[in-house]
Amino acid sequence: MKTTYRASDGAAYEVFLGRWTRVLAGPFSEFARLPAEGAIIDVGCGTGSLALALAEWRRDRVAGIDIALPYIAFARSREHGAGVDFVVGDACRLPYGDCSFAAAVAQLSLNFVADARRALREMQRVVRPGGVVAAAVWDFRGGLVYQRLFWDTAAGLDPQAGVARDRLFSSPLAMPDGLPRLWREAGLGMIERGSITIRMEYADFADYWEPLLGGQGPVGAYVAGLSQKQRQLIRERVRLSYLSGASDGSRSMTATAWAVRGTVPI
Residues that bind ligand SAM (CB under 6 A): 2-3, 5, 7, 17-18, 21, 44-46, 49-50, 66-68, 71, 90-92, 107-109, 112-113, 217
Q: What is the DSSP letter of 33?
A: T
To ligand SAM, the closest distance from the beta carbon of 227 in angstroms equals 26
Nearer to ligand SAM, 45 or 238 (CB): 45
Give the Cβ contact number of residue 80 at 10 Å: 11
To ligand SAM, the closest distance from the beta carbon of 152 in angstroms equals 20
To ligand SAM, the closest distance from the beta carbon of 43 in angstroms equals 6
Please report, for residues 3, 56, 99, 160, 171, the alpha-carbon distance to residue 218 in angstroms, rounded to integers and kept in the order given.
Answer: 11, 30, 34, 12, 13
Nearer to ligand SAM, 154 or 255 (CB): 255
Nearer to ligand SAM, 108 or 175 (CB): 108
Q: Is the CB of residue 34 less than 8 Å from the CB of residue 107?
A: no
Instruction: At 70, give phi and psi (nearest 5°).
Output: -60, -35
To ligand SAM, the closest distance from the beta carbon of 116 in angstroms equals 9
Tell me which residue has its CB nearest to ligand SAM. 46
CA angle 109, 112, 114 (to 5 degrees): 125
Nearer to ligand SAM, 230 or 256 (CB): 256
User: Closest by alpha carbon to 258, among 151, 171, 200, 165?
Assistant: 171
